[in-house]
Amino acid sequence: MNWIYDPWPWYIAGPLIALVMFLLLFVGKQFGMSSNLRSACAAMGAGKASDFFKFDWKAQRWNLMVVLGAILGGFIASNYMSDNTVEINPEVAQQLARDYHITSAGESYLPPEIFSPEALSDPFKVFILLLGGLLVGFGARYAGGCTSGHAISGLSNLQLPSLIAVIGFFIGGLLMIHIIYPFIF
């Protein structure tokens, strides 16, 4: 395979994610991609509204540097290392086309039906993206971590709270895809 251009298989990506966690541990930090949202709120002055944001966010600047790196990584990967298409299970792709008229599986990285600039003229789609983000931000702070902080870091450290959180992630995700999607799309 062309390892630069082809999608990376799970057995390459998974170990590399573990490597990212260990790199951060060995520079004295931890792997978690949602606490930067709290730092960003604090940096924008949210400490005036809640004690939750009154902390030394400047000591957490490293977190915002990791975010900056992730943005650069996304730019590099999409522009120089990818044809920006994602092949998924054909049955799931057919179901998407049949039930939700999303026919872009295999042709794009994100469905233009939801993410293209034109789709934003539909206020409902803007609402979906905003609500999705809101739940992610609220839920991650309430649960004290997200996919990286709980499913990778916390579970690697055999933390029961992380197991409860990850079970919650999947309850929420399955509810959304199987029960709520058919109503809203």
Partner 1 sequence: MRHIIYIAIGMFFGIIMFKSEAASWFRIYEMFHFGSFHMYGIIGSALALGIIGIRVIKYKNLKPIDGSDMSLDPKNKGIARYLIGGILFGLGWALAGACPGPMYVLAGAGYTSILIVIFGALVGTFLYGLIKKHLPH
For residues 154-173, which are near partner 1 according to CB under 8 A? Answer: 154-162, 164-173
Binding mask 121-160 for partner 1 (x = CB under 8 A): -----x-xxxxxxxxxxxxxxxxxxxxx-xxxxxxxxxxx
Is residue 97 near partner 1 by the rule CB under 8 A? no
Cα–Cα dist 31/25, whole Å: 7
Q: How many CB atoms lie within 10 A of CB 66?
A: 17
Residue from 97, 120, 122, 182 binding partner 1 (CB under 8 A)? 120
Residue from 99, 110, 122, 182 binding partner 1 (CB under 8 A)? 110
In this complex, which beta carbon is closest to partner 1, that of residue 10 or of residue 101? 10
Cα–Cα dist 131/145, whole Å: 18
**Are 107 and 85 a contacting pair, CB within 8 Å?**
yes
Residue from 14, 97, 98, 182 binding partner 1 (CB under 8 A)? 14
How far is the first Cα of the chain from the last one, in angstroms, to the nearest whole number? 38
Is residue 21 near partner 1 by the rule CB under 8 A? yes
Is residue 103 near partner 1 by the rule CB under 8 A? no
Is residue 59 near partner 1 by the rule CB under 8 A? no
Q: How far is the CB of 101 from partner 1 (least distance, A)?
A: 14
Cα–Cα dist 173/166, whole Å: 10
Cα–Cα dist 101/184, whole Å: 13
Cα–Cα dist 166/150, whole Å: 7
In this complex, which beta carbon is closest to partner 1, that of residue 98 or of residue 131? 131
**Are 71 and 156 a contacting pair, CB within 8 Å?**
no
Residues touching partner 1: how many (CB under 8 A)?
124
User: Segment 66-95, which members bind partner 1 (CB under 8 A)?
Assistant: 66-79, 81-82, 84, 86, 88-89, 91-92, 95
Residue from 52, 83, 122, 182 binding partner 1 (CB under 8 A)? 52
23 Cα distance to chain centroid = 20
Binding mask 26-45 for partner 1 (x = CB under 8 A): xxxxx--xx-xxx-xx----
**Are 148 and 136 a contacting pair, CB within 8 Å?**
no
